Amino acid sequence: MTTALRRRTLLGSLAALPALGLAACGEVTVEGEENASEQLTIVDDQEREVVLPGPAATAVVLNSYTNEFLRAIGAADRVVGVDRASLDRLPYLDLGEDQIIAEGLDQLNYEAIAELAPDVVIMPRNAVWQEAAEQLEAFGIPLVVATAWDTDVVDETLTLLGQVFGLEDGAQTVLDFREEISTALTDRLADVEPVSVYFETVEPYLTTLPGSGFHAMILAAGGANVFDDASGGDAQEELTVDPAEVVLRDPEFVIHEFEPSAAPVDRFEELREDIASRPGWDGMTALAEGHVAIANGWATSALGKSLGALYLASWLHPEQMADVDPDEYLTRWVTEFQATELSSPSDYVQGPEA
């Protein structure tokens, strides 16, 4: 790929990152403007028209990223039920075990949801939303599909959630924060030469392909995914690859993101040692030059992976990003938008200098 083509690819991905949602997803109609309690007709991310009696006062919400978004826009106190992963990953949610209504995105307790009588149930598109819509209809509970983990529709999802809860101003504040991050990247990385990156998520050799949010994160950070020509990924465009193939592609930078957890989990040394001990990997450029980063996904996958892009850019292009401190943005996201304490950014993200 020529330098010019690489730069055009980078600029295209950067431009896509902050794009505001102007498509059908998130359209809203207020019937009866004189009365705020009149019905709302919401168009969700599956282009389904969903009628709500008004802005939702209570909700059951599946997926930790969606719960983070709701906390960020100011709707945390309206959540009355969640899935177990949300509570495990986000212990600062003001919820108890008795409010867990799903063990997974495909294991919902519909009777428990009905007992909570929420105004709306919200779940991502990779949940069993078709089944849920049918089951919840019997209880008169509307379902909205909103997919907060998908980097390509983060802005649309925030807009949609703001409409569902009547918190458009709160959603716009989050969008403005995301735009600030995107601008920090685009202003500094327009003319950089992409650095080749091998991204590993959760499991050894599980990497990301085009179409994944992680792939978009690499591009936005001024990187080039060493597996950008691979295919055959799962629904989230992730693929377990041959360790020898990683060596052959010889990335200049390696990053491993482990399972998201708001509670600090010290896996940094363990994962560094595992990566360093893999046969043949010590000869790769990234390891030979010490260009390895480890991160807790709660930090680097936050806000549609915007924070991850910022951290990665600071490692790939330290000169261009010298005046931007990703730790400051992580601190703001946690303290201002999640309204919880942050022990230290280094408890969640450790770059090559760690």
Is residue 278 scored above 90 in pLDDT? yes
Q: HSE (CB half, 13 Å, CA atoms) of 236?
A: 17
Q: What digits encode the pLDDT tens for the residues 12-62?
A: 454 445 443 334 455 555 544 444 557 999 999 999 999 999 999 999 999
Query: Please, what's the b/e burial string for 28-47 (b: 16 or more CB within 10 A of its CB; e: otherwise)?
Result: bebeeeeeeeeebebbbbbe
> At how many degrees (to 10) do helices 154-165 and 168-189 cross?
160
d(C-alpha 186, C-alpha 183), whole Å: 5
Predicted pLDDT at 232:
87
Predicted pLDDT at 11:
41
The chain-wide mean pLDDT, for the chain, equals 90
Which pair of tokens denotes residue 209? 């392909």
d(C-alpha 94, C-alpha 46), whole Å: 30
Torsion sign over Cα 251, 254, 256, 262: negative
Indicate the range of 255-259, 318-322, 350-354 predicted with least confidence: 350-354
DSSP code per residue over 279-332: TTGGGSHHHHTT-EEEEEHHHHTHHHHHHHHHHHHHHH-TTTTTT--HHHHHHH
Q: What digits encode the pLDDT tens for the residues 202-259?
A: 999 999 999 888 999 999 999 999 999 998 878 778 899 999 999 999 999 999 999 9
Structural domains present in the chain: 40-172 (3.40.50.1980), 191-350 (3.40.50.1980)
Alpha helices in the chain (DSSP H): 3-16, 64-73, 84-89, 110-116, 129-137, 154-165, 168-189, 213-220, 243-249, 268-277, 285-288, 297-300, 302-316, 326-332
Predicted pLDDT at 151:
84
pTM: 0.86
Q: HSE (CB half, 13 Å, CA atoms) of 158?
A: 27
Q: In Å, what is the CA distance from 263 to each residue of 11, 79, 133, 340, 351?
A: 35, 21, 33, 11, 19
d(C-alpha 280, C-alpha 181), whole Å: 37
